[in-house]
Structure 1
Amino acid sequence: MLNRFALPILAMPRPAKRVVVLSVDAALCVLTVWLAFYLRLGEWVRLAGDSYWQPLWAVVVSLTVALPIFVVNGFYRAIFRYSGLSALMTVMKAVAVYALLFASVFTAFGVDGVPRTVGLIQPMLLLLTVGASRMLARFWLGGLYRNQLKMVALPRVLIYGAGNAGRQLAGAMANSHEMRVVGFLDDDDRLHGHVLNGLSIYSPADLPGLVNSLQVSTVLLAIPSVSRHRRNEMIAQMLRAHVQVRTLPAVSELAQGMVSTSDLRELDIDDLLGREPVSPNHILLGKNISDKVVLVTGAGGSIGSELCRQILAVAPTTLVLVEQSEFALYEIQQELQEKADTDHTLLVPVLASVRDAQRLRDIMADWKPDTVYHAAAYKHVPLVEHNPIEGIRNNTLGTLTAARIAAEVGVTDFVLISTDKAVRPTNIMGASKRLAEMALQALAATAPKTRFSMVRFGNVLGSSGSVVPKFRRQIRDGGPITVTHPDMTRYFMTIPEAAQLVIQAGAMAKGGDVFVLDMGDPVKIFDLATRMIELSGLCVRSENNPDGDIEIEITGLRPGEKLFEELLIGNHPRPTSHPRIMKAHEEFLAWPVLQDKLQQLEAMLDRRDVEGTKELLIELVAGYTPNDQGLVAAGPDSRLRYSV
């Protein structure tokens, strides 16, 4: 109904709207005079006057004084539906001037038939009614009432944390069209039962009851400085209430001064890892980078790009970005260019493949890098299993090519980014990476001027193919979440943490070192899927709970996939000066022996002999046990297909 009356008014021409508003103000002048007489006399009098009282004099003076003042102060130029505090201040100033003149006439000098107190009462009434008319126009014509109706239907949320971040977040969400804040949760029992900015503060223990009484669907964690261990305790407490959980970034990630709704993000698995991040050793970070020329292969990949970000922060003189994907190289080069101190660091984007020996030789000879981080690799297990020739050429022979050229041109440090899948591998990808490690171990003894090292770690969160964005997408689509096996476990680490540890590990190398990163405890993928569903405020659908929201579907192991990943071939890692970095002792073949075997391997790859290649890998890589899972060789070109 309100819309029905508002739309014709909004459609009127501007002059007509001004006449309407002027008429309303004139009517308010008359009405407030009449009300002022009633408040003074206690009875209604006729505006035309009676035996003694003469309200008409007051009406005439009010109209004669008020309307010109209102016109001069721009009352009829403002767009009321967009007016705010400044418009109210203008009304107050104009009515104050009016009150001074009106009271001078009827209170100070006096007029027969008009009580002196009317000169004081009527301006106050006029201020209230004119101000209220402007607010009503803003509320009605500006659609505020519609916004209020929409707010009722918005998802209702609680903010966990009544501190500075929580208060700023509540303020930022006051007019949000995405969710409605209905209260705070806080661990401080001294705050329970109190009201902050109109919102009650509750105990976190009351959350299950609040979900029903306040119809809460989401909890926003606004305690950016809390430890990861305490955050895990909070999350575990909220899991039982079946609410969605979103969070603010850590303090170091927040922009200074203000918190906004754009800072909110969904929980990542790193919020659940249960490990406190270890502060980096800045001496180790800068040892192989500061004021040096650094080259990164695979610079556009998940790990390579983060390595470049971390390297740039330590101020090398030159950072050479080697990448075979034009788009990936463009993306990382543009990102780094915005952050780079161009007076100190030169960024050099280079399109090249690590399999192109002459191209790599030209690049390294031209730029003479002090340190090389070799992150270029094909890492997706099923894809490499389907494309074994390309996988081995890139991961093993590409690494060997880059390492030999690095030694040839006098690179001081060469660091290979390896993987836990290289330990007792069941797939081509893992075997190709272990063979690359062995090649660097063997080369270390033949190239004393170059320190070769490799850093082995597990899955990184947020990398291409990571399960977290995949699961989140599947939850958003209504499921099911696909898990290959109920007992599948993996190690996880954040990309920035992994990149920092890689740099620090490389700085500790003596030559031929195999470093292993402490990944914490392995995470069961099925449990991860369950927890992500629950933290989305949903329930797992199963035989015991057929009315649940999201089903977890077991699809079976993929080609070459392992149930459990390992970080060590042996069982006796040695500690280093860094608490998260260990050194492994891994057996390898001497370079003369391995060189002959690698030449045999390259010949088999040239012949596209997949079966012969696998047999040679089994011979060379300790613990390699192929797990084809239904894959067979097909035809003379040895392309792979799923068996029927």
Structure 2
Amino acid sequence: MPYRQRITFLILIDSLFIITTILVSSMLLYETILITDQELYITAIALLVSYFIFSVKYKLYKKVWEYASIGELTLIIKIVGLSILTTFIIQQLIIANSYLRFLIIICLLELLFIGGSRFSWRVVRDMYFKQEKNKKRTLIIGAGSAGIMVTKQLFKNKTADLLPVAFIDDDTSKHRLDILGIPVVGGITEIERAVNEQQIDNIVIAIPSLNKTALNNIIKECAKTSARTQIIPMLEDIVAGRVSVNQFRDVQVEDLLGREPVELDIDSISGYISNKVVLITGAGGSIGSEICRQVTKFNPQKLILLGHGENSIYTIEMELKELYKNHPVEFITEIADIQDSKKMIQMMTKHAPDVVYHAAAHKHVPLMERNPEEAVKNNIIGTMNVAKAASLIQVKTFVMISSDKAVNPTSVMGATKRLAEMIIQDMNRCSKTKFIAVRFGNVLGSRGSVIPLFKKQIQNGGPVTVTHPEMVRYFMTIPEASRLVIQAGSLAKGGEIFVLDMGEPVKIVDLARKLIKLSGYTINEIGINFTGIRQGEKLYEELLNKNELQNRQIFPHIYVGKTTDIYMNEISDIVSNFERTDRSTLRSLLIDLANKQSVSTRNTANVEKVKIPITG
């Protein structure tokens, strides 16, 4: 109903109610309707005028009554009470007499008629929605403010296909109580029973403050059922207006594997990025593009997006210009190949960056096993070109993105990454630039990551292919890895290999099972096939050699490894001769050199998996 029509309608209804209460009260008290009595007219006028004055003052007619609650009831009591008090005073002043019992009966009847009429709208609405057919019976996990808000929104939205029928909450004081007419049927451990008893089709997790451990526990219980599990959006997205509270999303594996956010040292990061020129190689890649997003938040003067693929660079440029259109950052794109040493010198000289993040690399293990010469070109020669160009113009800080596969490498990709680390450590010895490397494991959702592959296989009906039932990997979200890379740059003194704490390793087969369950299937429906370990792969990845390990944490989730031996002469020999070397020999040369140890460290090195202690 249009606003003016709605106000007019409510005023007419309330006027009718007030007049009716006066007449009914008169009949009840005096057994007659004193229509001609002057006192009755004065009382009626006083009641009507005072009621509408207080209604306007307290904005009674701006309330949406289909969602009436205790607050609205309190408001009606206040307005009716004030109008009765005002009428009592007017009776004393004009009539020189007052009819207290008469006014008390009017007050009670007004509360009944006016309050009842408002709340009947909500009762009718609730009954209408709760009786609607063809809606999916939904279990709301969390009977707090977020769960209640979700439930109200689902009742309000006529197009929503979810019907809340029960709450789950670990607060025992709420058990066996009804909230919004919906029972709280137990705690988290009773999810399976509740789903079976209530014939639940959907589960909505409505606890925005959940940490990863608690979410994992809830998902584990939900996985015992056949109900589809969803989660409410992030609160910041709701507040920012990007999504509404009832735009649920499926639980992603990222929700389960990611850790709690790391609090960054904003001052130290701003000190070396704000109002500076920053260049990022591989800016169109998974890690490079996220570093672009994170760096932009610190308002650099210029951000140079350098990459070999024009489509990916164009995509990240358009995204940044849209996301940060109000930031005073100049975005500059450069299409260039890091294997072109002259072009790298030209780019560095042209833009004179203060900070370089070197994220360009070949990282696909099986592909590099079949093409070791390309890994040498990109990961070794490319790194050498970018590092030398940075040193030439005296860039302040150079951060190279490395990999856990550089530790005791068994693959071409890991070996070339380890040799690239040696190159930047050697450059640090003879340059005014601070060169560092940052080493971490798999990032969720990156190109070449196992998770997108699993999702595609599940969408195609399976089976999901896993190389080995005992294979484990470290995982980190792309934003978290990128933030810690930027933080590591602020901690650089030069020559360090920073290692990001990846948390506990995850079995790949367990990851596959979780993805299958989260996608709404059973393991039997999709299936898991074991294909065997591919060349260059390890069952366990490591983050530090034992001879590299320092038992201290310099920042939450960031460790620094000791400098080990550097073999620049041998690296130069490989770079000079790799084009004349067959692939099998080249592969052996790379892996042998990357694992080479001096006599002083040979006895302390260990190829076993090293667990990094958490001390912060």
Same fold (TM over 0.5): yes
Match of 1:539 in 2: 522
Question: For the structure 1 residues 580 and 488, does the alpha-carbon distance in structure 2 shift closer, same or farther, using more than 3 Å as the test?
Answer: same
Match of 1:157 in 2: 138
Match of 1:414 in 2: 398
**Paired residues of 2:233 and 2:243 also in contact (CA < 8 A):** no
What's the offset of the Cα at 1:232? 2.6
Matched, 1:528 2:511: yes
**Paired residues of 2:204 and 2:229 also in contact (CA < 8 A):** yes
Match of 2:273 in 1: 289
CA distance in structure 1 between the aligned counterparts of 2:289 and 2:389, rounded to whole angstroms: 23
Q: Deviations over 1:445-498 (max 9, x none)?
A: 122x01111000000112123233333343344322221211110000111111
Question: For the structure 1 residues 198 and 557, does the alpha-carbon distance in structure 2 shift closer, same or farther, using more than 3 Å as the test?
Answer: same
Match of 2:589 in 1: 616
Match of 2:294 in 1: 310
Instruction: Determine which of 479, 484, 489 is the counterpart of 2:472.
Output: 489
Q: Which moved more, 1:301-310 or 1:592-601?
A: 592-601
**Partner letter of residue 151 of structure 2?**
A
**Partner letter of residue 531 of structure 1?**
K
SS of the residue corresponding to residue 410 of structure 2 reads coil
What's the offset of the Cα at 1:431? 1.5
SS of the residue corresponding to residue 174 of structure 2 reads coil
Match of 2:375 in 1: 391
**Partner letter of residue 165 of structure 1?**
A
Aligned positions of 1:302-341 closer than 5 A? 302-340=286-324
Give the share of equivalent positions with the same residue, in percent.
41
Q: Deviations over 1:499-536 (max 9, x none)?
A: 11111112222222111111011000111122233344
SS of the residue corresponding to residue 213 of structure 2 reads helix
**Partner letter of residue 616 of structure 1?**
L
Match of 2:533 in 1: 557
Match of 1:10 in 2: none
CA distance in structure 2 between the aligned counterparts of 1:87 and 1:189, rounded to whole angstroms: 47
**Partner letter of residue 588 of structure 1?**
D
CA distance in structure 2 between the aligned counterparts of 1:249 and 1:209, rounded to whole angstroms: 26
**Paired residues of 2:130 and 2:163 also in contact (CA < 8 A):** no
Question: For the structure 1 residues 361 and 259, does the alpha-carbon distance in structure 2 shift closer, same or farther, using more than 3 Å as the test?
Answer: closer
What's the offset of the Cα at 1:311? 0.6
**Partner letter of residue 495 of structure 1?**
I
Question: For the structure 1 residues 234 and 371, does the alpha-carbon distance in structure 2 shift closer, same or farther, using more than 3 Å as the test?
Answer: same
Match of 2:462 in 1: 479
Match of 1:181 in 2: 164
What's the offset of the Cα at 1:148? 9.0
**Partner letter of residue 157 of structure 1?**
T
**Paired residues of 1:576 and 1:582 also in contact (CA < 8 A):** yes
Match of 1:230 in 2: 214
Q: Deviations over 1:321-372 (max 9, x none)?
A: 1111111111111111123366632111111111122222221111100110
**Paired residues of 2:139 and 2:195 also in contact (CA < 8 A):** no
Q: Deviations over 1:567-599 (max 9, x none)?
A: 112355222420311112253335455434432
Question: For the structure 1 residues 93 and 480, does the alpha-carbon distance in structure 2 shift closer, same or farther, using more than 3 Å as the test?
Answer: same
CA distance in structure 2 between the aligned counterparts of 1:236 and 1:555, rounded to whole angstroms: 27
What's the offset of the Cα at 1:275? 4.1
**Paired residues of 2:154 and 2:246 also in contact (CA < 8 A):** no
**Paired residues of 1:244 and 1:534 also in contact (CA < 8 A):** no
**Paired residues of 1:299 and 1:323 also in contact (CA < 8 A):** yes
**Paired residues of 1:372 and 1:411 also in contact (CA < 8 A):** yes
What's the offset of the Cα at 1:395? 1.4
CA distance in structure 2 between the aligned counterparts of 1:92 and 1:210, rounded to whole angstroms: 43
CA distance in structure 1 between the aligned counterparts of 2:163 and 2:190, rounded to whole angstroms: 19
**Partner letter of residue 169 of structure 1?**
V
Q: Which moved more, 1:338-347 or 1:327-336?
A: 338-347
Match of 2:612 in 1: none
Match of 2:483 in 1: 500
SS of the residue corresponding to residue 383 of structure 2 reads helix
Match of 2:566 in 1: 589
**Partner letter of residue 493 of structure 2?**
K
Question: For the structure 1 residues 440 and 478, does the alpha-carbon distance in structure 2 shift closer, same or farther, using more than 3 Å as the test?
Answer: same
**Partner letter of residue 595 of structure 2?**
A
CA distance in structure 1 between the aligned counterparts of 2:459 and 2:596, rounded to whole angstroms: 40
After TM superposition, the runs of 4+ consecutive aligned structure 1 residues lying more than 6 A away are: 83-100
SS of the residue corresponding to residue 338 of structure 2 reads coil
CA distance in structure 2 between the aligned counterparts of 1:165 and 1:432, rounded to whole angstroms: 50
Question: For the structure 1 residues 96 and 182, does the alpha-carbon distance in structure 2 shift closer, same or farther, using more than 3 Å as the test?
Answer: closer
Instruction: Determine which of 481, 489, 509 is the counterpart of 2:492.
Output: 509
Aligned positions of 1:124-523 closer than 5 A? 152-174=133-155, 175=157, 176-204=159-187, 205-256=189-240, 260=244, 263-273=247-257, 275-340=259-324, 344-447=328-431, 449-523=432-506
SS of the residue corresponding to residue 216 of structure 1 reads coil
What's the offset of the Cα at 1:97? 11
* Equivalent pairs, count: 498
**Paired residues of 1:413 and 1:451 also in contact (CA < 8 A):** yes
What's the offset of the Cα at 1:292? 1.1
**Partner letter of residue 402 of structure 2?**
S
**Paired residues of 1:161 and 1:223 also in contact (CA < 8 A):** yes
Gaps of 5+ in 1: 1-82, 101-106, 110-130, 542-548, 625-644
SS of the residue corresponding to residue 335 of structure 1 reads helix
**Partner letter of residue 588 of structure 2?**
E
Q: Deviations over 1:71-98 (max 9, x none)?
A: xxxxxxxxxxxx6998777777789999
**Paired residues of 2:232 and 2:249 also in contact (CA < 8 A):** yes
**Paired residues of 1:243 and 1:534 also in contact (CA < 8 A):** no
What's the offset of the Cα at 1:253? 4.7
SS of the residue corresponding to residue 501 of structure 1 reads helix
Question: For the structure 1 residues 477 and 393, does the alpha-carbon distance in structure 2 shift closer, same or farther, using more than 3 Å as the test?
Answer: same
**Paired residues of 1:168 and 1:259 also in contact (CA < 8 A):** no
TM-score by length of 2: 0.73
Matched, 1:569 2:545: yes
CA distance in structure 2 between the aligned counterparts of 1:356 and 1:426, rounded to whole angstroms: 28
Q: Which moved more, 1:611-620 or 1:300-309?
A: 611-620
Question: For the structure 1 residues 382 and 313, does the alpha-carbon distance in structure 2 shift closer, same or farther, using more than 3 Å as the test?
Answer: same
Gaps of 5+ in 2: 19-32, 36-116, 598-616
What's the offset of the Cα at 1:320? 0.7
TM-score by length of 1: 0.70
**Paired residues of 1:373 and 1:415 also in contact (CA < 8 A):** yes
Q: Deviations over 1:289-339 (max 9, x none)?
A: 122111001111111111111111111111111111111111111111123
Question: For the structure 1 residues 260 and 197, does the alpha-carbon distance in structure 2 shift closer, same or farther, using more than 3 Å as the test?
Answer: farther
Question: For the structure 1 residues 276 and 594, does the alpha-carbon distance in structure 2 shift closer, same or farther, using more than 3 Å as the test?
Answer: same
CA distance in structure 1 between the aligned counterparts of 2:327 and 2:476, rounded to whole angstroms: 34
**Partner letter of residue 284 of structure 1?**
S
**Partner letter of residue 158 of structure 1?**
L
Q: Which moved more, 1:528-537 or 1:428-437?
A: 528-537
SS of the residue corresponding to residue 202 of structure 1 reads coil
Question: For the structure 1 residues 432 and 295, does the alpha-carbon distance in structure 2 shift closer, same or farther, using more than 3 Å as the test?
Answer: same
